[in-house]
């Protein structure tokens, strides 16, 4: 593909090194969330099938692991598949599930997970996924559950409203059973019942959405309340390391007040 060829040029490599030196002069976000958007539109623009668009998108997600390690980003949450995406045609879902299964198999044997000490966890309504994918997610989680250097969260069959609904049910059940009084419910009570509760830093410092769309689409609605948002006018399969670094530079230029 043209994007891959451009990345091999000397000019691109010079610009990439220059950007990285600028990024490294300031504090990088500890937790980045990325809404991977635009696979199908990229495929249409390139005159190829939607399946190829999803494959190229999966390739970028694999490259991202190296980029984040090089930039010393500790936690990454990828919005891979929303609950709304599950309403797509049976044919597209079949191809998506096959691709997810194939990439999870690769993740199981990816030596970078061990080298970087990455804990991998799926977040979402996993019961909506095929048994084969759930089994692979469980295997990856068990293999990496002892790692604490880096965290990779795969948001699949995920919806922010569903996450909050699950949290409310959990709190309501404890109140009903007498284990929790309404007066004792705090923000911390909520945070400890979210899908991301195991993370040392649940709240993304920066959320990036590709494809030019400027909305959250239900991504980390509680955790992202004070995240910096950067919308990138690039389809996900065309996303490059320089696009990631430009987003980080935008983040670094902002003053974070958290409402104060």
Residue-wise pLDDT for 100-141, tens only, equals 999 999 999 999 999 999 999 999 999 999 999 999 999 999
Decide which of 192 and 258 is more confident: 192
> Does 257 map to a domain?
no
Q: Does residue 19 form part of some domain?
A: no
Read off the CATH number of the domain in which 126 is found.
3.40.1180.10
pLDDT: which is higher, 81 or 7: 81
> Quick check: 5 pLDDT over 60?
no
In a domain, 12, yes or no: no
Structure tokens of 210?
């590709």
Phi and psi of 145, rounded to 5°? -65, -20
Kindly state the average pLDDT of the residues 56-84: 96
Q: Which residue in the list 26, 59, 66, 85 is annotated as catalytic?
A: 85
Q: How confident is the model at residue 6 (pLDDT cuts 50, 70, 90)?
A: low
Predicted confidence band at 258 (pLDDT cuts at 50, 70, 90)? low
Residues 6 or more apart from 31 whose CB is under 8 A from it? 73, 74, 75, 76, 77, 199, 201, 202, 203, 204, 205, 206
**Mean pLDDT of all residues in the chain?**
94
Query: 77: Cβ–Cβ under 8 A, 6 or more apart, which residues?
Result: 31, 32, 33, 34, 123, 153, 155, 196, 204, 220
- Within-domain flag for 15: no
Q: Cβ(201)–Cβ(223) under 8 Å? A: no
* pTM for this model (two decimals): 0.93
Average pLDDT on 204-229 reads 97
Q: What pLDDT does 11 receive?
A: 85
Residue 62, Cα to own-chain centre: how many angstroms? 12
Q: Is residue 221 part of a domain?
A: yes
Answer yes or no: is pLDDT of 9 > 90: no
Query: Could you tell me if residue 23 is inside a domain?
Result: no
Residue 42 lies in a domain: yes
Q: Can 85 be counted among the known catalytic residues?
A: yes
**Can you read off the two tokens belonging to residue 81?**
């598949």
Residues 6+ apart with CB under 8 A from 186: none
Tell me the average pLDDT across 91-95.
95
The structural domain count of the chain equals 1
Residue 188 annotated among the catalytic residues of the structure: no
List the domain range (segments joined by +) for residue 127.
2-6+30-251
At residue 259, the pLDDT reads 66
pLDDT at 2: 47
| pLDDT digit string, tens, across residues 219-256 | 999 999 999 999 999 999 999 999 999 999 999 999 87
pLDDT digits (tens, 9 = 90+) for 154-203: 999 999 999 999 999 999 999 999 999 999 999 999 999 999 999 999 99
Residue 24 lies in a domain: no
């Amino acid at each position: 593909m043209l994007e891959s060829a451009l990345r091999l040029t000397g000019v691109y490599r010079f610009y990439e090194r220059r950007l990285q030196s600028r990024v490294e002069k300031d504090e990088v976000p500890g937790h980045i969330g990325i809404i991977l958007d635009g696979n199908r539109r990229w495929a249409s623009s390139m005159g190829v099938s939607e399946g190829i668009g999803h494959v190229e998108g999966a390739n970028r997600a694999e490259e991202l692991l190296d980029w984040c390690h090089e930039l010393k980003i500790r936690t990454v949450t990828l919005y891979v598949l929303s609950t709304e995406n599950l309403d797509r045609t049976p044919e597209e879902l079949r191809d998506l599930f096959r691709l997810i299964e194939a990439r999870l198999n690769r993740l199981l044997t990816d030596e970078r997970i061990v080298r970087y000490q990455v804990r991998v966890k799926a977040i979402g309504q996993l019961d909506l996924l095929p048994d084969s994918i759930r089994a692979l997610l469980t295997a990856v989680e068990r293999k990496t559950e002892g790692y604490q250097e880096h965290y990779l969260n795969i948001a699949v069959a995920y919806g922010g409203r569903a996450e909050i609904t699950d949290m409310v049910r959990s709190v309501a059940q404890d109140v009903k059973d007498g284990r929790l009084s309404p007066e004792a419910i705090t923000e911390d009570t909520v945070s400890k019942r979210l899908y991301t509760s195991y993370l040392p830093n649940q709240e993304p410092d920066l959320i990036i959405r590709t494809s030019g769309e400027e909305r959250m689409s239900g991504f980390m609605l509680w955790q992202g309340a004070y995240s910096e948002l950067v919308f990138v006018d690039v389809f996900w399969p065309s996303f490059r390391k320089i696009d990631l670094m430009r987003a980080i530079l935008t983040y670094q230029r902002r003053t974070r007040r958290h409402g104060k």
